[in-house]
Amino acid sequence: MGFDSISKELVKEDKVRILESLMDKPCSFREILNINGYAPSTLSRTLTIFEDEGLVRREGEKYCLTGAGLAFLKVIDVIKAVYEFKDDINGVPEFVELLPPGFLAGIHNLRRAEVMDIESALKLGVERIAEAKEYGLYVDKVISYDVYKLMVEKNLQGVEERVISNRETLYGRGSTFRKVLQDMDLTKDEYELVKRKVHVKVFDTPIQLGVIDGEFAILQLNDRVDRFYVSEDKRFITWCEYLFTYLLGQCRGCPVQ
């Protein structure tokens, strides 16, 4: 039968619910029947197909998921998440094409974040920058004298920054950053410390992203000002760090002068 038979069976009458009913524990035929409400003949036929194709196996009177069955459920959840957040990625097909499958597989992590508008998200982001103790990872288009000054103050306290800037904002970022350094009247040692703590690379991307100390993350996938995802959830943060690391590998260097 193969993949075609499995895929056809899964979409008929939402048969994926049969697999989902086995997620937590093995179930008997009667238990699955009670959970899903299928006709006995329909359930028997579907379980036979799933068993023949290696998605479920029988252990005595119980049915349980195989590794392949669990994998199918996880892939189906990815597809559901892509559909759920389609409005966030519809306008950026080139960016989606660039992304590794592992990142797309984690798009369900957006469910772990709160959605904010740009004003609320950036206000919270600046507050978290002020609390940073170790590092910040940024993919952004923000050009702000006050934010850059705050970042330099954190650099002088030992906080390291890795930044991905697009070419459109690079000049404005650089000139504003130099103005901050001039106005702060840093000593030579302080200036050298900032140079060691700030790492800027260039890559054109539609997203904005920030991760601070592995404890806070903010993500915007397109230009909508009402769709910033913000969270302290560890899985969401790890997902954002994974995206940053991947994009960093696509960059060319741009040393801070």
pLDDT for 25-72, tens place per residue? 999 999 999 887 888 998 999 899 899 989 999 999 999 999 999 998
Please report whether residue 157 resides in a domain.
Answer: yes
- 150 vs 83, which has greater pLDDT? 150
Q: Residue 69 sits in which domain range?
A: 3-77
Paired residues of 257 in beta bridges? none
The reply to whether 85 falls in a domain is no
- Is 50 exceeded by the pLDDT of residue 206? yes
- Domain identity same for 67 and 111: no
Q: Are residues 119 and 240 in the same domain?
A: yes
pLDDT at 110: 95
Task: Using the predicted structure, report yes or no on whether residue 17 has a pLDDT greater than 90.
Answer: no
On whether residue 37 sits in a domain, the answer given is yes
Six-digit token pair at 132? 């940073």
Number of domains in the chain: 2
Q: What CATH number is given to the structural domain containing 169?
A: 3.30.870.10
Q: Are residues 29 and 148 in the same domain?
A: no
Question: Looking at the domain assignment, is residue 86 inside a domain?
Answer: no
Q: Report if pTM > 0.85.
A: no
Residue 256: predicted pLDDT:
45
Asked if the structure places residue 84 within a domain, the reply is no
